[in-house]
Amino acid sequence: MDYDLIVIGAGAIGVTIAMDAAERGLSTAVVEARSGPGTGCSYANAGLLAPSHAHPLTGFGNVRAGLQNMLNPYGPFKLAPSPENLRWITRFLRASLPGVHGKAVDIQRRLSGASSAIHRRVAESGLDTGFRQNGLLDVYRDSAAAYATTDDLDNHPLQPAFSFLNAAQLDEEIPMATGLEAGILTTEDAHCDGYRYVHAVADRAVVLGVEFHFNTPVQSLIRRNHVTRGVRAAVGDLTAEHTIVAAAEPSKRLLKPTGLHLPMISGKGYVVDVAKHPNDPDRPIGIKDEMIVATPYPDRLRLAGVMELTGSDDSVDHRRIGAMITAGECVFPDLSSRAVLETWAGLRPCIADGLPAIGRTHDRGLSVATGHGQQGLVLAPITSAIVHAQMQGHSGTPSGVDPHSISPERFRRR
């Protein structure tokens, strides 16, 4: 065998698994189709590490928001009615039933709580991920919606610390904002810079001996008699005792021959980075009515949001960017006059039941780590901890979550 471990995909999930593998003494390679780490969905995101906001995409709140926005071409949700999307939506609606959704919420929150704590330790260990733990402020035009959220936080298993801000208090916090009635500040939430995270982790992995093979799309898994022994690429075969598929939505195609049919589609999101203003708040602001997040970084202000279930085209629609800028003006009235530094769109890997697929498969030597949807950055460290624990033969998960609930095997066709 060439390696103990091969990881397919150098996004937030893949590089974290590779770094942890090298720390455990495994000879490790990462095989990545593109030219560098963090060039897929992990390139840009809102950077939130917010256990208080960890929830699956499923749930009737999102179904309602989706229906309300059906006729708005630049609303926060969009769905293209392809046969695959309609199959996905059917499963999604089933998973949105209160009992099923409630369990998924609990799982996501536990995973996110455990993972955020690791993010903090990673930053404390000296990796420069842009980590800052100074809370997240959600703002609302209608205080009734804010009160409903406080009920939810009161019943949250992690009991996050939060404070309710009325209009006057909000005015002190973000004086330039207009038309807002209420805010909720979750004080223990953190954020980081997703691209910096991926690069800091990948750099550390290289120091620990991980080999990166860039510009190397994996064509297929090498398998025989339900044993996976590495990957096949145009440049040749690379073999390993264990292979982990962390290739976001394209993981689906690689896994199909194993009998796993992940109900996963791409959820396209958008990012627009604009010049900073000295009066910008220094913590992320969730603009709830518009479903976008504004995250401040040292050199820019980033707006992120939108969920388009429209296929695998990741091109930027500039009318969409314009709509996001308009939507952000309730908090940043000068937004449209600021210099636009970068625009980007990326494809979140979204599984229909709202939970990721993490863990071993029935194939010996094959694990999966994908499908994290809008939570892949925050969940990267716990995902790595889970796959490594399972490779070492542990049956539980480090977060205490039932491994069956997130197992890729829940999608095996029998």
The site for ligand FAD (CB under 6 A) is made up of 8-14, 31-34, 39-42, 45-48, 194, 217-218, 246-248, 250, 269-271, 304, 346, 348-349, 370, 372, 374-378
Give least dist CB 306 to ligand FAD, A.
7
Pair 129, 197: CB distance under 8 Å: yes
- Closest to 29 measured CA to CA, from 8, 49, 6: 6
| DSSP code, position 260 | B
Q: How far is the CB of 240 from ligand FAD (least distance, A)?
A: 14
Nearest distance in Å: CB 34, ligand FAD = 4
Torsion angles phi and psi, residue 142, rounded to 5: -125, 120
CB of 269 to ligand FAD, least distance (A): 3
Q: Kindly state the smallest distance separating residue 2's Cβ from ligand FAD, in Å.
A: 16
Would you say 46 or 95 has its CB closer to ligand FAD? Answer: 46
Count of CA atoms in the C-beta half-sphere (13 A) of 167: 8
Amino acid at site 102: G
Would you call 257 exposed, middle or buried from its count of C-beta atoms within 10 A (0-12, 13-18, 19+)? Answer: exposed
Q: For the chain, what percentages of helix, strand and coil (3-state, to nearest 5) are there? A: 35, 30, 35
* SS3 state at 306: strand
Minimum Å gap between C-beta 374 and ligand FAD is: 5
CB of 99 to ligand FAD, least distance (A): 26
Q: Which residues contact 410 (CB under 8 A, 6 or more apart)?
A: 353, 357, 404
Minimum gap (Å) between residue 270 Cβ and ligand FAD: 6
CB of 48 to ligand FAD, least distance (A): 3
Question: By C-beta, is 134 or 143 nearer to ligand FAD?
Answer: 134
> Looking up tokens 């279930």, which residue turns up?
309
Nearer to ligand FAD, 11 or 113 (CB): 11
Q: Which residues of 28-48 are buried (b: 16+ CB within 10 A; e: fewer)?
A: bbbbbbbeebbbbbbbbbbbb
Which CB, 96 or 383, lies closer to ligand FAD? 383
Provide, rounded to whole angstroms, the least separation between the CB of residue 376 and ligand FAD: 2
For ligand FAD, the closer of residues 13 and 382 by Cβ is 13
Q: Which of 276, 321, 279 is CA-nearest to residue 301? A: 276
The residue among 149 and 295 lying less far from ligand FAD, judged by its C-beta, is 295
Q: Three-state SS for 125?
A: coil
- Residue showing tokens 């069956």: 404
Distance from C-alpha of 23 to C-alpha of 15, rounded to nearest angstrom: 12
Alpha helices of 298-409 — where are they, by DSSP H? 318-328, 376-391, 403-406
Residue closer to ligand FAD (CB basis): 218 or 222: 218
Taking the C-alpha atoms of residue 320 and residue 309, their distance in angstroms, rounded to an integer, is 14
Residue closer to ligand FAD by CB (options 273, 363) is: 273
Nearer to ligand FAD, 323 or 378 (CB): 378
Pick between residue 181 and residue 398 the one whose CB is nearest to ligand FAD.
398
